[in-house]
């Protein structure tokens, strides 16, 4: 709700204040340890209030900050921790060792925030998380609650004790009864993400220690869960330490599962027969075919195969990450977009998603070189907006590979036994891709199907 600058060297106090202000009021808190960093913050941020220690290492810090604000005619209210020996400057004084609650009360009083506004921004005591997030866990550090409506009001009832074991099978009973969320107390909400990511990565590591698990139902289910969780968190939280960890772990498993296969057939059949999500199947199938396709092209030396493959894994995993709904994922051309019934916001997201994700991956730590360009071009345009009318020869080679493989994978996922055969699908694609670079990829794909899928 409000933007606060805290100028204080004590890490324990700033951590406590920051956690409380963010937790209670969704406040944006900036921490400064000295005068220089404080002035940098004042000059670059629009602040609603400043909290400053009166003296740091015998430096009259509060006076210096107040004088600077006066010279610049900045009217931001200032609360000092400790007395300030000057009367001409406008500030609010607290004791040098006030309680956190005293500080928060004074902030609210100084900012004159009405109670009605506070109620709008204060986080509730219990924070809800989607039920399927808990599928990734085996236990949690706090009690877990369900929300029940009683006499027109809501009541939170404990269902799982802190530290008790639970599993997906047990949680599905809640889903069957109509529950879509479970709740934890708000002070544990940051810990929730750490446990969620940590447990998911542990389950993946435990299962993939044995490569024979790669073409099993359990592996596909876990990979699907990881893919959906990664996409959901990246779409809602953006790039942060936790989302990078879980996405990187899911991509690593996808890569290892493909490299471990002597033949593509077993994993292909398992992916096709599993009830996993459309987005996950599509991403994993693109990587499955790509490893053989790039090996059959003369565009890459042997020493480049693994590096090139990892780029495709990354791009196939990330390229549609902001399209959470399967209905949006199934729009892959101007004709699809024209036919589908969607609101303007969804249509705009589809039109711009390649450009949006391209910008997103630029912030992803150690993203493969040129991944942003490949993703921007994955619908055939160079600016990441809309869909190309026809194949574009000026695209990067990896973009061309992903475009053709995605089109092929979509066709086999929508396979119609009445009228489709593998040969008819390949023939259709060959008809559409006559440009030499595209034909080369089609030849490599055809060769892969003939030699690997059995």
Please name the fold of domain 3-120. Rossmann fold (3.40.50)
pLDDT category of residue 46 using cuts at 50, 70 and 90 = confident
pLDDT category of residue 122 using cuts at 50, 70 and 90 = low
Written as six digits, the tokens of 57 are 């290492």
Which pLDDT score, from 0 to 100, does residue 1 have?
65
**Percent of the chain whose predicted confidence (pLDDT) is above 70:** 96
| pLDDT tens digits along 436-450 | 999 999 999 999 988
Q: What average pLDDT is seen over the chain? A: 87
Residues 6+ away with beta carbon under 8 Å from 348 = none
Rounded CA-CA distance 30/34 in Å is: 12
Range 158-171 burial, b when 16+ CB lie within 10 A, else e: ebbeeeeebeeeeb
Rounded CA-CA distance 395/377 in Å is: 7
The CA angle 76-80-86, to the nearest 5 degrees, is 90
Pick from 319, 314, 330: nearest CA to 254: 314
Pick from 363, 370, 431, 365: nearest CA to 402: 370
| pLDDT tens digits along 83-115 | 887 766 788 888 887 777 788 888 888 888 776
Is CATH 1.10.3210.10 what the domain over 208-452 is classified as, yes or no?
A: yes
pLDDT over threshold 60, residue 454: no
Which pLDDT score, from 0 to 100, does residue 391 have?
93
> Residue 207 in contact with residue 222, Cβ under 8 Å?
yes
Which pLDDT score, from 0 to 100, does residue 331 have?
94
Which pLDDT score, from 0 to 100, does residue 120 have?
63
**Most confident segment among 20-29, 199-208, 247-256:** 247-256
Judged by DSSP in three states, 387 sits in coil
What's the mean pLDDT in 17-35? Answer: 80
pLDDT over threshold 80, residue 190: no
Which pLDDT score, from 0 to 100, does residue 118 have?
67
Q: Output the pTM of the full model.
A: 0.72
Q: Which ranges in 162-297 belong to alpha helices (H)?
A: 168-176, 189-207, 217-237, 241-259, 265-273, 278-296
pLDDT over threshold 80, residue 394: yes
Which pLDDT score, from 0 to 100, does residue 58 have?
64
| pLDDT tens digits along 326-345 | 999 999 999 999 999 998 88
Domain boundaries, given as residue ranges, for the chain: 3-120, 124-186, 208-452
């Amino acid at each position: 709700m409000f933007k606060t600058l805290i100028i204080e060297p004590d890490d324990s106090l700033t951590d406590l204040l920051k956690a409380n202000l963010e937790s209670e009021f969704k406040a944006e808190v900036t921490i400064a340890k000295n005068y220089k960093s404080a002035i940098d913050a004042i000059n670059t941020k629009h602040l609603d209030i400043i909290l400053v220690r009166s003296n740091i290492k015998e430096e009259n810090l509060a006076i210096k900050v107040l004088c600077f604000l006066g010279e610049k005619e900045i009217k931001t209210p200032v609360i000092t921790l400790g007395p300030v020996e000057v009367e001409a400057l406008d500030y609010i004084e607290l004791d040098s060792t006030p309680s956190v609650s005293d500080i928060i009360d004074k902030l609210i009083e100084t900012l004159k925030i009405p109670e009605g506004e506070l109620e709008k921004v204060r986080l509730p005591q219990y924070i809800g998380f989607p039920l399927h997030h808990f599928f990734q866990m085996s236990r949690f550090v706090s009690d877990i609650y369900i929300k029940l409506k009683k006499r027109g009001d809501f009541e939170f009832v404990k269902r799982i004790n802190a530290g008790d074991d639970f599993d997906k099978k047990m949680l599905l009973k809640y889903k069957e009864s109509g529950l879509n969320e479970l709740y934890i107390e708000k002070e544990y909400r940051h810990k929730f993400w750490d446990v969620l990511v940590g447990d998911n990565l542990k389950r993946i590591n435990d299962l993939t220690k044995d490569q024979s698990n790669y073409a099993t139902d359990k592996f596909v289910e876990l990979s699907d869960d990881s893919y959906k969780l990664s996409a959901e968190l990246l779409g809602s939280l953006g790039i942060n330490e936790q989302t990078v960890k879980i996405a990187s772990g899911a991509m690593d498993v996808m890569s290892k599962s493909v490299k471990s296969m002597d033949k593509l057939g077993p994993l292909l059949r398992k992916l096709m027969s599993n009830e996993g999500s459309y987005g996950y199947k599509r991403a994993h199938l693109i990587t499955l075919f790509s490893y053989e396709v790039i090996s059959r092209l003369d565009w890459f030396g042997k020493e480049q195969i693994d590096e090139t493959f990892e780029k495709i894994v990354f791009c196939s995993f990330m390229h549609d990450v902001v399209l959470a709904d399967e209905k949006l994922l199934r729009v892959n051309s101007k004709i699809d977009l024209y036919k589908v019934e969607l609101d303007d916001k969804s249509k705009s997201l589809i039109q711009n998603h390649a450009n949006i994700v391209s910008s997103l991956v630029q912030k992803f730590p150690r993203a493969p070189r040129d991944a942003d360009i490949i993703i921007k071009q994955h619908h055939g345009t160079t600016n990441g907006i809309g869909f190309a009318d026809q194949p574009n020869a000026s695209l990067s080679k990896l973009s061309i590979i992903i475009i053709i493989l995605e089109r092929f994978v979509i066709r086999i996922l929508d396979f119609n036994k009445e009228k489709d055969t593998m040969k008819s699908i390949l023939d259709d694609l060959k008809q559409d891709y006559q440009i030499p670079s595209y034909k080369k990829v089609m030849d490599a794909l055809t060769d892969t199907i003939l030699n690997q899928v059995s």
